[in-house]
Structure 1
Amino acid sequence: MTAHLHVITGGPGSGKSSLIHALAADGLSTLPEAGRAIIQQQVETGGDALPWADRLAFAEQMFRWELRTHRTARARQGPVILDRGLPDVIGYLRVCGLSVPPYLWKAAKVLRYHRRVFIAPHWPEIYAQDAERKQAPQEAEATCLAMSEVYTRLGYELIPLPLASLSERVRFVRSHLEQR
């Protein structure tokens, strides 16, 4: 059996990471997102590859992280659920108004995921800022839209997650994984 890489994308604060943790607790193979880990590492070491300091450097760090994540996921068996993917870096750059380097588009076209991508819609009722999530709600919503546009442009089919409890979202994802 080979790995089947399934991405969960969307804007910040839409419940993606909570869903990833719940899916892992439910026995699925998962890999975390780049953003929070990079921010924590940069703050800890005094780096400036941060979304509020050097967005381009932050995007480059995310790109490297997503390349490693893709390689790691490919080595696993069965379904692997990823908290974001390479196209998310493109979406981030677009939201920031920064140009997307051609090598990033090429990587996103070559290093593919399952054709159906889960997207967590912007959900104002659960959105909250914290030490790593400093975006205004409008930027979170714009990020969700950018992710939708990028994944669609790359030929993926988007499966919107329901605005529902965590257990309902887990059941929803599992039911779609079984359909493949």
Structure 2
Amino acid sequence: MNTKRILIIGGPGTGKSTLITELEQQGHTCFHEISREVTAAAQKKGIEQLFLTQPLLFSELLLEGRIQQFNDAENLTVEYTFYDRGIPDVAAYMDYTGDEYPDVFREACKNYTYDVTFMLAPWKEIYEQDDERYESFEQAETIQKYLTSAYESYGYSLINVPFGSVSERADFILNTLKNN
């Protein structure tokens, strides 16, 4: 049995990581967001915001990490594997910043595809900035548009997750998967 790859996407601060943690606590196999790890590693080297100072390097590290996560799920024998962000996120963020990137990014978006994609919308009531999340809420809303555009351009149908408690959002996702 090949695992179905379930992607949870959305702009910064939409509740993706909290939702992934909830799904993991319910016993599901989850791959966590890696951008905070990349940012923290750069900060230890004295680079405050690698994404801002070296966006291509930052994005290459994210792409490499997300491809590794994708490959790590290849031989899993669980029904679902959940991902906090996917490979097309990398291209979407580069489009958002207006930075050029090599075709290897586009090829990765085409070659590594997910089965179902859930979109979490910006939610002002839960949005918080911190040391790794520097974007304002307004920037998060703009990033959301770039994410939507990128995923749709690669043929994804996005399922919008309604606002609600973490358990309500997890239930929505799991019930949607059962009914498909």
TM-score interval (norm. to shorter): over 0.9
1:59 and 2:83 aligned = no
Q: Deviations over 1:100-141 (max 9, x none)?
A: 321111111111110x31011011111110011011112111
Tell me, what secondary structure is at the counterpart of 1:147?
A: helix
Once the two structures are aligned, what percentage of the paired residues are identical?
31
Tell me, what secondary structure is at the counterpart of 2:52?
A: coil
Q: Runs (4+) of structure 1 moved beyond 3 Å?
A: 45-49
Amino acid at match of 1:101: P
1:103 is matched with: 104
1:179 positional shift: 2.6
Amino acid at match of 1:79: Y
Q: Deviations over 1:35-59 (max 9, x none)?
A: 1111112112335771232112111
Find the aligned partners of 2:39 and 2:15 in 1 and give their Cα distance. 18
Gaps of 5+ in 2: none
Q: CA RMSD in A?
A: 1.4
2:13 is matched with: 13
Gaps of 5+ in 1: none
Total equivalences in the alignment = 179
Find the aligned partners of 1:76 and 1:66 in 2 and give their Cα distance. 16
Q: Deviations over 1:3-23 (max 9, x none)?
A: 111110110000000000000
Amino acid at match of 1:134: Y
Tell me, what secondary structure is at the counterpart of 1:119?
A: strand
Amino acid at match of 2:98: G
Contact 2:5 2:80 in 1 (8 A): yes
Amino acid at match of 1:65: G
Find the aligned partners of 1:40 and 1:177 in 2 and give their Cα distance. 34
Instruction: Return the TM-score normalized by structure 2.
Output: 0.94
**Aligned ranges for residues 3-152 of structure 1 at < 5 Å?**
3-47=3-47, 50-77=50-77, 78-114=79-115, 116-152=116-152
2:165 is matched with: 165
